[in-house]
Structure 1
Amino acid sequence: MVRIPRRFLIHTITVEAYLGRTSKGDRYAAGREVACLVDEQTRLVRGPDGDEVTSTSTAYAGPEEQAIPPASRVTLPSGRITKVILAKRRDGGRLGTPNHTEIQLE
C-alpha cells in the first residue's frame, strides 16, 4: 500500500468527532491531533445527503484517518474552527498513487 509520505503532512488539525445531538446541543468526542496537508481552496462538493455544498478547505491525511464522521468539529492551523462535510478514503489501488483520506471542510 502506497501512502502519502509523512514529509508532506506538514500541518496539524484538531478533530473532535461528532457524537450526535442531545437536548443540550451537539456532542463531540475529545479532540485529537491529525497530521495532514491543508489546502484552503473553495470548491463545490457533494455532502453526505447528496446536496451540493461549498467547501472552503480540504485536509489530506493518512489512510488510517477514516473514522471522521460528517459534522465533526475541526480546528485548522490558522485557529479557524470549521466542520467536516465528508471524509472519504482514496485508494490508489494498483495505480501507485498514494492512499489517503480526503477531509472536506465547510
Structure 2
Amino acid sequence: LRVTLKEARVGLLDGLAVAVTCGPGVYLWSGSPGPTAVIAAAMVISLVAAGVSGAPVPITLIRLGQDPAHSSSILLTTVTDVVGFFSFLGIATALAAFL
C-alpha cells in the first residue's frame, strides 16, 4: 500500500507537470480554456491511474508465479489507455454545456 501511495503521488506530480506544459499549447490550438481544462484534467487522472496501477500489477503477477516483464506492460498500457479515454470523454461530457 505504501508503494502504491508513493506511485500515486509521483503520478499526480507528473500529471500536473504534463498538464502545465501542454496546457498553453492546447489553449493556443483551441483558443478556448474549456478544452484546455478537459485535456489537462484527463492527463492528471491518466497519470495518477498509471502510478496507482504501476505498483500492484507487477507485485500481483509475481505472486501468481508469472514473469512481470512479459505481462506488466500490456496490462499497464491497457489500464492507462482505458482510464485516459474514459476520463477525457467523461470530463468533456460533464462540461459540454460550458465548452
Q: Name whichever structure is richer in helix by fraction.
A: 2
* Both structures adopt the same fold (TM-score exceeding 0.5): no
- Class of the TM-score when normalised by the shorter of the 2 chains: under 0.3
TM-score norm. by structure 2 comes to 0.24
Q: Name whichever structure is richer in strand by fraction.
A: 1
Greater RCO, 1 or 2 (C-alpha within 8 Å, sep 6+): 2
